[in-house]
């Protein structure tokens, strides 16, 4: 069925409001094509897309179809009684979508737990393990703009579903009529029959207790450090301030304009803590109170960004690798001091995350293991280690400000990370050091690791074709020297024997330890490039970084022109 036939089917079968919306674009063939040329794919991260009518958009019909497919997989596994747990964030329609998901699961005879209010993604991961359910979903679009929604899907170990389950769901979606309204139990009836159960405080308390158990130092920590915190109008407000105060960090200034959960994100149209422009409000408060630390969690509170002060008392936003390095050094060194280390301890990072953590971990006797991008893979290794006993997972991270310092939740966790960062800051300040000074001590010891990344967007049908063409062409033709530094190895994660699952990623390693990687985004229509350089001198590393970025952008632009011209 082509996109015009799909459009006609929706006009015939959808509810009146949806039909009204679709009729408003009846003369816009390009818009109709973009909305209907494909079905929004249920990938290994679940669903994510712009909210609107159409098969390639997030709406109640796509939500029901995908949830019905997941329910069918659970029934095939004969695990209905184990149940599912559903959480949702602050986004527009999240609560409504979550209730519809509950009605689908209940209609398939699957016990369903649903939170009484919005909750962070890491608590959803924890709840799966705590309630011993077979699956779970969090209705969220993470840090995407307000127009987006979606949901993250998880399996019984508390980590996001991998290909084996995702492919089964995808296959079933193809055979489910998007307007099928059978096997749906009304929410109130599900509550009455006990197949839908609302959960809240009991799970909250258990999750908080586990977060607090990660404490490494307490009495030897400066507790009166000045902290500014923002949840970007998201779910972090449910836990992070209370967790910090429970630990004794009471000198907290909250960014009042961003405290109330609000899916319109009135102060941050693109609520991504990685984007330093989003620190405008936090920075104002930080300067007013002369803060020692600024913490910012994204709307579903799985990612955490920070700002610290440099030696000139100016605020500096750290990138994900820098924060990761500080946490690795702190957690592993304190574990070693306290005799908590095990011979098989492992640090897990993604293949596009910086290398600086590797020698730091090695000095604490910890092995570093790489895997594909995304915490479904990082925490997937935690699941594997638990079964085999080969390694003991102590920390997982990736460059996009995601950190997992525990295994009671099998996903990145801004709540646990916020507590440990505050503790780390207070610990070093009690010793007369700032986090900035600690970071530069590590640079002096291990080398100056510099990095940057950029993205090229390829929107729509033609954009997707060009994006794949660029990747295909670049596999065969790429620079072998940059700035006088020679390439020593090209790694093709789609075709090479790398020890990780196949993935459309290219990585280029150079003789001086510098490298870059290119991959299509799994959640947005863009090609992402990551560049890393290293040198004993900071200015040399920065200079190489500029050379690499200039040359790679030039090369990719050339390839794009070739692909476009056929």
Count of C-beta atoms within a 10 Å radius of residue 566:
5
Q: How far is CA 396 from the centre of its chain?
A: 12
Q: What is the dihedral of CA 244, 247, 251, 254, to 10 degrees?
A: 10
Q: Let me know if 142 is a catalytic residue.
A: yes
- CA-closest candidate to residue 295, choices 241, 229, 239, 249: 229
What is the number of residues in the chain?
A: 566
User: Strand, coil or helix: what is 565?
Assistant: coil
Contacting residues for 235 by C-beta, under 8 A, at least 6 apart: 89, 90, 118, 119, 120, 121, 261, 299, 300, 301
Q: Which of 142, 350, 416, 541 is catalytic?
A: 142
SS3 for 85-107 is EEEECCCCCHHHHHHHHHHHHHH
DSSP assignment of 114-153 equals: EESS---HHHHHHHHHHHT-SEEEEE--TTS-TTEEEEEE
- CA-closest candidate to residue 274, choices 234, 235, 225, 323: 323
Contacting residues for 87 by C-beta, under 8 A, at least 6 apart: 98, 114, 115, 118, 119, 120, 121, 123, 124, 127, 136, 137, 138, 139
Residues belonging to the active site = 142
């Amino acid at each position: 069925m082509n996109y015009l036939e799909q459009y006609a089917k929706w006009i015939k079968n959808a509810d009146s409001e949806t039909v009204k919306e679709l009729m408003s674009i009846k003369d816009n063939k390009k818009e109709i094509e973009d909305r209907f040329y494909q079905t929004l794919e249920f990938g290994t991260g679940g669903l994510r897309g712009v909210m609107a009518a159409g098969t390639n958009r997030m709406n109640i019909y796509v939500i029901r179809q995908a949830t019905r497919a997941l329910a069918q997989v659970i029934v095939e596994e004969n695990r209905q009684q184990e149940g599912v747990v559903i959480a949702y964030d602050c986004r527009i329609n999240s609560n409504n979508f979550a209730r519809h998901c509950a009605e689908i699961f209940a209609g398939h005879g699957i016990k369903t737990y649903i939170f009484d209010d919005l909750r962070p993604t890491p608590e959803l991961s924890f709840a799966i393990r705590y309630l011993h359910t077979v699956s779970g979903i969090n209705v969220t679009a993470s840090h995407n703009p307000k127009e987006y929604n979606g949901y993250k899907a998880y399996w019984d170990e508390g980590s996001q579903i991998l290909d084996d389950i995702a492919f089964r769901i995808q296959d079933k979606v193809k055979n489910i009529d998007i307007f099928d309204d059978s096997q749906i139990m009304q929410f109130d009836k599900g509550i009455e029959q006990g197949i839908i159960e609302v959960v809240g405080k009991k799970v909250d308390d258990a999750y908080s207790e586990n977060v607090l158990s990660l404490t490494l130092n307490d009495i030897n920590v400066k507790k009166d450090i000045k902290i500014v915190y923002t949840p970007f109008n998201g779910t972090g407000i449910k836990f992070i301030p209370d967790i910090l105060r429970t630990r004794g960090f009471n000198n907290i200034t909250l960014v009042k304009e961003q405290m109330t959960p609000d899916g319109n994100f009135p102060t941050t149209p693109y609520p991504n803590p990685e984007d330093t422009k989003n620190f405008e409000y936090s920075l104002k408060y930080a300067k007013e109170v002369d803060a020692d630390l600024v913490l910012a969690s994204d709307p579903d509170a799985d990612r955490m960004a920070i700002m610290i002060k440099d030696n000139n008392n100016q605020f500096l936003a750290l990138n994900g690798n820098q924060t990761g390095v500080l946490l690795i050094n702190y957690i592993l060194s304190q574990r070693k001091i306290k005799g908590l280390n095990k011979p098989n301890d492992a640090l897990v990072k993604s293949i596009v995350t910086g290398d600086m953590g590797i020698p730091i971990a090695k000095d604490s006797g910890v092995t570093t293991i790489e895997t594909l991008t995304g915490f479904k893979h990082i925490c997937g290794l935690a699941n594997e280690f638990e079964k085999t006993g080969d390694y003991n997972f102590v920390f997982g991270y990736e460059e996009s400000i995601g950190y997992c310092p525990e295994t009671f939740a099998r996903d990145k966790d801004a709540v646990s990370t916020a507590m440990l960062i505050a503790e780390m800051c207070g610990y070093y300040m009690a010793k007369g050091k700032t986090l900035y000074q600690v970071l530069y001590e590590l640079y002096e010891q291990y080398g100056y690791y510099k990095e940057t990344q950029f993205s090229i967007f390829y929107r729509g049908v033609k954009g997707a074709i060009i994006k794949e063409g660029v990747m295909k062409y670049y596999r065969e033709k790429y620079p072998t020297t940059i700035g006088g530094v020679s390439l020593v190895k090209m790694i093709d994660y789609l075709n090479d024997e790398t020890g990780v699952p196949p993935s459309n990623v290219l990585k280029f390693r150079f003789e001086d330890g510098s490298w870059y990687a290119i991959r299509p985004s799994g959640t947005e229509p863009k090609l992402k490039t990551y560049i890393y350089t290293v040198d004993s001198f900071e200015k040399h590393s920065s200079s190489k970084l500029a050379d690499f970025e200039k040359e790679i952008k030039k090369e990719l632009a050339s390839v794009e022109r070739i692909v476009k011209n056929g």
